[in-house]
């Protein structure tokens, strides 16, 4: 009954031409506190009503965009709702859904319980499957259009789909979330692989080299997801320890302001299982922080990552120091990690450019305050 009432409220708002903020105020009056908007399936109800006609209803879509921006609905509920749309022949509707994904696909986050965080991973996997199906349908239309002499019909939509795929998959954080979803939903990952194969077969017959190259790049990123935590891979051992990256990036995304102790215990477990030397272990933590900082969108998320990198992580290292009491000297290991970090010039340059400051200097100062470095080490490192 609640869902019916929800639809009636949406239709009333559309008939009376409420603005987005009027709609939000009235919705909160109609539905008193208790059940959340996600439980009421608000995102799905809005999309269902917006996509009834051949083109999307702009007013109802504005309600959904307002709900996303004001966090009335979670990202996972929106992604799940989008993944249920399957009429890919309606170009304007598909374009509207891609634009909605564009609002937040590079800054996915979840501040709820563990189940809700896992739900976000699953929703992103469903959205990836939807994007692949949409891309395949667009490629098929383009192929049919080429045969009929009207290629423009599918080419624009195919380019848009590939752009969203590339944007979603280029984020290390998103690929980490997809890796978790793969472990949770093996059958769904099989569907992803089948869709990828189908897309490859269709694109093999297309002559546009740019679109084919873009699709191949997306396919490479998808196929790399299962091996993100493959610690026995010789290549990964040479390039770093991706498990540390995954743990830090997930913490930075899902639990920026939480207690440090659970993170410390997770990191120590990874260190022991993979026999990571302490200097390289500390280095990987900082590398992951800088990657998260560089990839974070401007605004609140950037500020959160800045606090996480320069305030929370030094506190985590202080606790790690107690666990690493068997090591010769933790401060020497931290100093050695800084030596390695200073050699990563491209990473540091990007971080400095993003934050508009000398990130290494701030990190050195904070580590010095926490007693993680001696004064002599700080002076020596600052000189470099």
CB 314 within 8 A of CB 370: yes
What's residue 66's pLDDT?
92
Which long-range contacts link 79-83 to residues 24+ away (Cβ below 8 Å)?
79/120, 79/123, 79/124, 79/126, 79/127, 80/43, 80/44, 80/123, 80/126, 80/127, 81/41, 81/43, 81/44, 81/46, 81/47, 81/48, 82/47, 82/127, 82/130, 83/123, 83/126, 83/127, 83/129, 83/130
Tens of pLDDT along 262-275?
Answer: 899 999 998 888 88
Is pLDDT at 255 greater than 80 in this prediction? no
Last residue of a domain, one of 185, 202, 227: 227
Tens of pLDDT along 211-250?
Answer: 888 888 888 889 888 877 654 344 334 446 888 988 998 8
Residues 255 and 209 occupy one common structural domain:
no
> Which range among 193-207, 221-235, 247-261, 293-307 shows the weakest confidence by mean pLDDT?
221-235
> Which range among 63-67, 231-235, 266-270, 327-331 shows the weakest confidence by mean pLDDT?
231-235
Number of domains the chain is built from? 2
Last residue of a domain, one of 227, 259, 274: 227
Percent of the chain at pLDDT exceeding 70: 91
Alpha-carbon Rg for the chain in angstroms: 24
Task: Report the distance separating Cα 261 and Cα 230, nearest Å.
Answer: 26
* Half-sphere exposure (Cβ direction) of 358: Cα atoms closer than 13 Å: 9
Q: Which is more confident, 173 or 285?
A: 285
Q: What is the mean pLDDT of residues 375-379?
A: 83
Residues 178 and 312 occupy one common structural domain:
no
Is pLDDT at 122 greater than 90 in this prediction? yes
Residues 8 and 151 occupy one common structural domain:
yes
Residues 351 and 300 occupy one common structural domain:
yes
Q: Which is more confident, 337 or 143?
A: 337
Percent of the chain at pLDDT exceeding 90: 22
In the three-class reduction of DSSP (H, G, I as helix; E, B as strand; rest coil), residue 55 is classed as: coil
What band does 84 get if pLDDT is binned at 50, 70 and 90?
very high
Residues 160 and 208 occupy one common structural domain:
yes
What's residue 3's pLDDT?
40
Residues 87 and 187 occupy one common structural domain:
yes
Task: Report the distance separating Cα 272 and Cα 249, nearest Å.
Answer: 19
> Which range among 79-88, 122-131, 293-302 shows the weakest confidence by mean pLDDT?
293-302
Give the residue numbers spanning the domain of 364.
234-383
Task: Report the distance separating Cα 60 and Cα 192, nearest Å.
Answer: 31
Q: Which pTM value belongs to this model?
A: 0.61
What's residue 35's pLDDT?
58
Residues 100 and 58 occupy one common structural domain:
yes
Residues 209 and 104 occupy one common structural domain:
yes
Residues 66 and 179 occupy one common structural domain:
yes
What's residue 34's pLDDT?
56
Residues 259 and 177 occupy one common structural domain:
no
Residues 210 and 281 occupy one common structural domain:
no
Q: Which is more confident, 384 or 288?
A: 288
Last residue of a domain, one of 227, 256, 272: 227
End-to-end, the C-alpha distance of the chain in Å comes to 68
What band does 25 get if pLDDT is binned at 50, 70 and 90?
confident
Is pLDDT at 36 greater than 80 in this prediction? no
Residues 205 and 346 occupy one common structural domain:
no
């Amino acid at each position: 009954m609640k869902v019916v009432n929800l639809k009636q409220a949406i239709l009333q708002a559309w008939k009376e031409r409420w603005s987005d903020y009027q709609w939000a105020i009235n919705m909160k009056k109609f539905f008193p506190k208790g059940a959340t908007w996600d439980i009421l399936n608000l995102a799905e109800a809005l999309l269902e009503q917006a996509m009834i006609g051949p083109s999307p209803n702009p007013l109802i879509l504005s309600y959904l965009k307002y709900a996303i921006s004001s966090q009335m609905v979670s990202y996972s509920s929106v992604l799940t709702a989008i993944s249920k749309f399957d009429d890919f022949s309606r170009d304007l509707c598909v374009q509207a859904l891609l634009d909605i994904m564009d609002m937040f696909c590079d800054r996915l986050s979840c501040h709820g319980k563990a189940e809700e965080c896992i739900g976000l991973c699953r929703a992103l996997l469903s959205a990836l499957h939807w994007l692949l199906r949409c891309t395949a349908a667009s490629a098929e239309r383009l192929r049919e259009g080429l045969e009929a002499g009207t290629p423009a019909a599918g080419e624009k939509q195919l380019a848009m789909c590939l752009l969203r795929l590339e944007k979603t998959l280029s984020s290390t954080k998103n690929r980490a979330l997809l890796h978790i979803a793969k472990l949770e939903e093996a059958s769904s990952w099989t569907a992803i692989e089948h869709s990828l194969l189908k897309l490859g077969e269709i694109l093999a017959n297309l002559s546009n080299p740019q679109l084919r190259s873009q699709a191949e790049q997306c396919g490479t990123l998808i196929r790399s997801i299962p091996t993100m935590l493959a610690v026995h891979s010789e290549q990964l051992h040479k390039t770093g320890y991706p498990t540390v990256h995954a743990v830090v990036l997930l913490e930075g995304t899902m639990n920026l302001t939480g207690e440090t102790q659970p993170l410390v215990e997770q990191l120590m477990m990874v260190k022991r299982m993979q026999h990571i030397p302490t200097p390289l272990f500390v280095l990987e933590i900082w590398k992951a922080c800088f990657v998260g900082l560089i990839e974070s969108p401007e605004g609140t998320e950037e500020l959160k990552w800045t606090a996480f990198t320069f305030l929370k992580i030094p506190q985590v290292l202080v606790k790690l120091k107690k666990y690493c009491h068997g090591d010769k000297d933790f401060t020497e290991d931290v100093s050695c990690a800084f030596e390695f970090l200073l050699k990563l010039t491209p990473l540091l340059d990007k971080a400095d450019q993003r934050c508009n400051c000398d990130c290494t200097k701030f990190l050195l100062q904070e580590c010095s305050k926490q007693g993680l470095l001696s004064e002599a080490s700080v002076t020596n490192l600052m000189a470099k």
